[in-house]
């Protein structure tokens, strides 16, 4: 920490590691791998806005349900971009209509 001399020098306070963006993290940790996943959130460091914070991924990574328009967690997305609640409603309707469990559709996963 730098001490102020004649009120001309400012006190240096380093950024918290969770608040670092990818370019800042690359400068501070030069051996950090761009295709690694430091916060284990499923998004590569290079594409993650905050590579050390699991909760924040930036506005371009927010996922909105295609059916109800609610913001959803990236780990809770069903095929077709729908949330758990909408998927549950569709599943219950299909079960009531046919009386048998619907077969999973794996065509729209990737």
> pTM of whole model > 0.95?
no
Cα–Cα distance, 86 to 110 (Å, whole number): 20
- The answer to whether residue 110 scores a pLDDT higher than 60 is no
Rounded mean pLDDT of 89-110?
76
Domains of the chain, by residue range, sit at 12-61, 62-103
In the chain, the percentage of residues whose pLDDT exceeds 90 is: 3
CB 40 within 8 A of CB 54: yes
- The answer to whether residue 82 scores a pLDDT higher than 60 is yes
- Convert the pLDDT of each residue in 25-52 to its tens digit: 899 889 999 988 888 887 788 878 888 8
19: number of CA atoms within 13 Å, CB side?
4
If one compares 36 and 54, the residue with the highest pLDDT of the two is 36
């Amino acid at each position: 920490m730098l001490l102020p001399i004649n009120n001309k020098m400012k006190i240096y306070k380093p950024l918290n590691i969770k608040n670092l963006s990818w370019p800042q993290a690359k400068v501070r940790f030069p051996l950090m791998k761009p295709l690694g996943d430091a916060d284990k959130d499923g998004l590569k460091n290079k594409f993650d806005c905050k590579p050390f914070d699991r909760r924040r991924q930036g506005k371009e990574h927010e996922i909105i349900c295609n059916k109800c328009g609610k913001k959803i967690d990236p780990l809770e997305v069903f095929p077709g971009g729908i949330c758990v609640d909408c998927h549950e409603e569709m599943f219950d309707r299909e079960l009531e209509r046919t009386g048998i469990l619907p077969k999973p559709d794996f065509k729209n996963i990737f």
